[in-house]
Structure 1
Amino acid sequence: MRYRRLPLTSIIVNPANDRHGELENETAAVAQLFATQEAHMRSLAKDIVAQGQIFEPPLVFPDQDKYVVADGNRRTTCLKLLRDPDRAPTVDLQEFFFKLRDKWPGDLPTHIECQIEEDRDRVDEILFRRHTGVQGGIGQSNWDDRMKKNFVIRTGKGKGISVADEVERTLAEVKMIPESKIPRSNMNRLLSSEAIRNKLGFSISDGSFQFIRDRDQSLLALSRVADDLARKKKTLDDIWDTKSKRKYMDELERDGILPTLPRNLDSTQTETQSPAKIQKHPEITARPTTWPHLIPEYDHGIIWVPKLHRHREIWDELQFRLVVDHHPNATAVLSRVLIEISLDNYISSKSVSGVTENDSLARKCEKVARHMNEGSLIDFKYMNEIIKIKNGEDIISISTLNRYVHSSNFDVSPRHIKMIWNTFSKFVVICLSV
């Protein structure tokens, strides 16, 4: 641990702050802090100006020639906006900071003292022990359930099964363990997300390790990961956040390492698996017919990278917050928005040819469905199902989705919304997974 006065210009408000999850850049991170905690942010800024100082040095870690804030993003943001109010996300906030900075006693600071930690594991240990007490926004805000979940997904810290232990035990049973010691904290960080685990062919369900892909292929993939970590071919920097984890998975996919075959439940395989009972993974489980929210509450295997931040916020509202029977109109409109922006993500990520800005939602659906079929992402039957519903007046159709948004006298039925989502859900998940 060391303390040093750093120029404010060299300090970056963390785009991967666990308060909000991963965003594109510092500007988006600042905007999100005010979008979710504007009252607290204003209170904190007033307190900093009244005291003429901050009381706790921000915790930062080096990243190339800059320093990223691990803890103290709210304090750092307030100081940055006091120096440059034009960077505030709204005109009202810009005016607020212009007026507030005139009250600063003396010259505004250009440097602030920071706690610098080179070891990112230590950074997470410090974060794990902080965040207690709100004090109306002047103190550190408590993490809510989603913030805690973001932290656990990013780091692998928390109660429950140690994924690294399970992977090491599984590899040891088949004598595929690397000679060098596997850094378990790095392994847990990499495999903290169910989506990443699924790409490697296994799942953690009800506290037990289960293969969901061909066992031999999955073992080879896990052996490669263990070897990369043990031999330090992949270090903490290579698996620090969702973006870097996904980059590593893409590398394994290009190398043909990731398992592709479905799980074979023959007697030989089940005897050598974990003694825990084998359960079907959500991907191969029959869809439930009743649930309070539009999207069933299980992990759909999407890796939420920064560019999908708005997609994820809408997804979370449809999966955890909006009850279809109580909020049918909001659910209907947001489901239509999610489908369209998910399509746009697929089109841009895959560079789908022949799509124009003037294409309707129906035309986009058809072109994307055909592209998915050509790439073996969906079969011919499902492609035709999507193409069939792109037009027409049936309840399960693009026409119905458009009416949700544009018709002033169209009655929204919770049952019909669920029927439409049941058809589109696999399509949307693929669009968000590329």
Structure 2
Amino acid sequence: MAIRSIPLDALLVNRANDRHGELENETAAIAWLFNKRETHMRNLTKDIVAKGEVFELPLVAPEGAEFLVFDGNRRVTCLKLLEDARRAPTTELQTFFKEQREKWTGSFPDSIQCQVENDRDRLDDILFRRHTGAQSGVGQSTWDDRMKATFVARTGKGTGANVADEIEKRLAAAKLLPKGRKIPRSTMNRLLSAEPFRNRLGFSMSKGRFEFTHDESVSLSAMARVADDLANRRKVLGDIWDVDGKRGYLDELERVGLLPNAQHALAAPKSTASSAKSSRAKPTAQAKPTERTTLIPQKSFGLVWPGRLQRHHQIWEELQFHLDLARHPNGISVLLRVLLELSVENYIKQTGLSVHDGDTLAARVVKVGKDLHSKAKIDQKYLGVLNKFQHGEKLVSADTLNRYVHSANFAPSPEHLTSLWDSFSEFIVLCLEA
């Protein structure tokens, strides 16, 4: 640990702060703080101005010639906006910060003292152990369940079993450990912090224990390659720091045939308890189906969200957790169409798929569907479902979605909306994963 005085303009508000997950850039991170915590931010600014200092040192790590803030993003943001009110996200807030700056006594600091940590694993350990009350925004705001989950997904900490330990154990038993070099465990844990990334290497930790999901020898070979790349620093922490970095590295391995594929998948183990018949077993009441209250079922779809998909993520969460099907069918119908369109555009941009500027949404859905089919991501039957999206007379069609938005006489129903989602959920997920 080192305490250093760092210029304000060398401090970067963290676009991947665990409060919100990955956002596009520093400007988006600042906007999020005021969108979600405006009262807290105003209170904290007033406190900093009144006292003329911050009482807790921001926790930062080197990021090239600058320093990325890991704890203290609110404090740093307040100081940055006091220094330059034009960076505030609204004119009202710009006025507020100009007024607060005029109340500052003495010279305004151009640098502040920070706790600098070069070891990012130690840095995450510090974050994991900090628990402070919010104090109406003056103190440190505590993380809610979603923020804690984002931290775990980013770092792999707090999940019980240590992913790097489990991999190292199996590679040692198979005599596949890198020769002469240790695996950087913190980097391995960060790379494989979420189930979708682990699944690509052919294993799962979803129940807190290691389990192969694909042929063991193929999976071990992939793990050995990753371990060797990390141990020999062909890939370092900065290369796999965010979602795009992790996905990009795994895509490289997939392109050269080093990752398990569908042919290597293991059959799901059958429960002997469910198949065994017992003459003494008492009949149980038939389970009642769970009523669906949101458009997107509240289960995991295996998605990880890079900062470039900030708006997609927000819309997804509104449709999965916040908007009630029975109470908000109109809002849901519009957002479903927006999510579909944004997801299709993401796929086109990420894959470089050729489309024409004049192509309708329906035409783009079909083109993306054909591309997915050519890559064996969907089967012929599902491609047929997507092809029907162009047909106006179908309930599950572009025409239906357009009427939901533009027609005064075509009211969406929860049943129609769930049919649309159930038909397109696989397609939307694949587009977001691109």
TM-score in same-fold range (> 0.5): yes
The offset of 1:290, in angstroms, is 5.6
The offset of 1:315, in angstroms, is 1.4
The offset of 1:110, in angstroms, is 1.0
Corresponding position of 1:29: 29
Partner deviation per Cα, 1:25-48 (whole Å, 9 max, x = no partner): 111111111111111111111111
Say if 1:26 and 1:81 are closer, same or farther in 2 by CA, change over 3 A.
same
The offset of 1:294, in angstroms, is 2.2
Corresponding position of 2:305: 304
Task: State the one-letter code of the partner of 2:417.
Answer: I
2:262 aligns to what SS in structure 1? coil
Task: State the one-letter code of the partner of 2:26.
Answer: E
Task: State the one-letter code of the partner of 2:429.
Answer: V
CA contact (8 A) 1:211 1:263 kept: no
1:53 matched to 2:53? The reply is: yes
Say if 1:146 and 1:238 are closer, same or farther in 2 by CA, change over 3 A.
same
Cα distance between partner residues in 1 of 2:211 and 2:321? 26
Corresponding position of 2:106: 106
1:403 matched to 2:364? The reply is: no
Corresponding position of 2:430: 430
1:431 aligns to what SS in structure 2? helix
Which deviates more from structure 2 when the two are superposed, residues 412-421 or residues 221-230? 221-230
The offset of 1:181, in angstroms, is 4.0
Cα distance between partner residues in 2 of 1:427 and 1:375? 13
Task: State the one-letter code of the partner of 1:100.
Answer: Q
1:254 matched to 2:262? The reply is: no
Corresponding position of 2:154: 154
Partner deviation per Cα, 1:1-41 (whole Å, 9 max, x = no partner): 11121111111111111111111211111111111111111
Corresponding position of 2:183: 182
Corresponding position of 1:283: none
Cα distance between partner residues in 1 of 2:433 and 2:338? 17
Cα distance between partner residues in 1 of 2:253 and 2:231? 16
1:65 matched to 2:50? The reply is: no
Cα distance between partner residues in 2 of 1:230 and 1:222? 12
Corresponding position of 1:335: 336
2:245 aligns to what SS in structure 1? helix
The offset of 1:232, in angstroms, is 4.0
Q: TM-score, structure 1 length as denominator?
A: 0.89
Partner deviation per Cα, 1:121-153 (whole Å, 9 max, x = no partner): 111111111142000000000101111011101
Corresponding position of 1:241: 242
2:112 aligns to what SS in structure 1? strand
Partner deviation per Cα, 1:233-270 (whole Å, 9 max, x = no partner): 4333333332322232122123321211344547xx97
Corresponding position of 1:163: 163
Q: TM-score, structure 2 length as denominator?
A: 0.89
Corresponding position of 1:281: none
Corresponding position of 2:134: 134
For structure 1, the residue ranges without an aligned partner over 5 or more in a row are: 279-287
Corresponding position of 2:393: 393
Corresponding position of 1:284: none
Corresponding position of 1:199: 200
Partner deviation per Cα, 1:284-315 (whole Å, 9 max, x = no partner): xxxx9964332233332323111011111111
Task: State the one-letter code of the partner of 1:161.
Answer: A
Question: Number of residues paired by the alignment?
Answer: 419
Cα distance between partner residues in 2 of 1:414 and 1:138? 43
For structure 2, the residue ranges without an aligned partner over 5 or more in a row are: 275-288
